[in-house]
Amino acid sequence: MIRWGIIGCGDVTERKSGPAFQKVEGSALVAVMRRDGEKARDYAERHGVPRWYDDGHALIADPEVDAVYVATPPSSHAEWAIAAARAGKPAYVEKPMAATVVQAESMLDAFTRARVPLFVAYYRRALPRFLAVRDALPELGNVRFVRVALTRSFRPLPDPLPWRHQPEIAGGGLFVDLASHTLDLLDYLLGPIVDVRAVSENQLRASPVEDMVAMSFRFGSGVVGSGVWSFAADHRMDVVEIVGDHGHLSFSTFEDEPIRITRGGDTRELRIPHPEHIQQPLIAAVVDALHGRGSSPSTGESAIRTTRVMAEALR
């Protein structure tokens, strides 16, 4: 049994991830931590977790915790992940991997030195819907290019600003939070991105971060891509299109839209629902990797590539 402790048992852990650690075979959730001890205690009682802490170092030192899930905002990922590595414990870290490339590199170095594995929660790599996209790629022939468009309308921001709009915590704005999922998925589907050219703008000046990014990029295979991410648009759009010389397909990163595959003028749709706990397939792969009976598609080595791409886009 891999016994997990969560550092930062906030909203993302309520449904997306936390319960999965209890449901995956060979896994158990035995401890949670939050700086507000009452909230940690409440989470533990509601989710049937035996122990709770208000100190992350105490959770890491718990001899009954074998592995650590870091679900804090990005700026503290490195601190807690490195502490786990120094304790000889594997870590599963929320995305993006860190707020900066330097922090991500320090994490990789710590886990390499400790000889324990580091995983990152880019869970779309393990979801059945996106595995179906991967399996359909041969139907397209030689993939030529990719187009990405993600738009959201602006909503007035509260004071104080949410942490996702504070670059010192998030590493950027909603581009970092949302585009990271798509860029990492494209890395998984088509291989590493090796060249990035981008323009980023803060058009609304509503917070210190970018609200528009236009990017062109190239994969090591020669496939080229373009993308626009706007968080000050008049409507909501979420589409990724992959075009080959024999067909094309489209899907949504976040919306519950079907995969549409077109070849020879004929289009078919695949509707594949997500699991109740959307991170569960990846958590199962991580647990299998820790048991030595499989591997995880998302690791520190793969995730740092996405961190570098986003940093270059915002540079």
Tens of pLDDT, residue by residue over 85-144, are 999 999 999 999 999 999 999 999 999 999 999 999 999 999 999 999 999 999 999 999
User: How much is the average pLDDT of 208-215?
Assistant: 97
Look at residue 267 in the predicted model and tell me its pLDDT.
98
Q: What is the pLDDT of residue 59?
A: 98
CATH architecture label of 128-273: 2-Layer Sandwich (3.30)
Per-residue pLDDT, 166:
96
Contact 92, 299 (CB under 8 A): no
Indicate the residue type of 300: G
| pLDDT confidence tier of residue 262, bands split at 50, 70 and 90 | very high
pLDDT value of position 100: 97
What is the CATH code for 2-122+279-297? 3.40.50.720
The pLDDT of residue 124 is 98
pLDDT of residue 239: 98
Domain limits, the chain: 2-122+279-297, 128-273
Single out the residue of 166, 176, 258 nearest to residue 207, CA to CA: 166
* CA atoms of 218 and 190, how far apart (whole Å): 10
Task: Give the model's pLDDT for residue 25.
Answer: 97
Assess contact for 222 and 145: CB atoms under 8 A. no
> Looking at residue 211, what is its pLDDT?
97
- In percent, the amount of the chain with pLDDT more than 90 equals 99
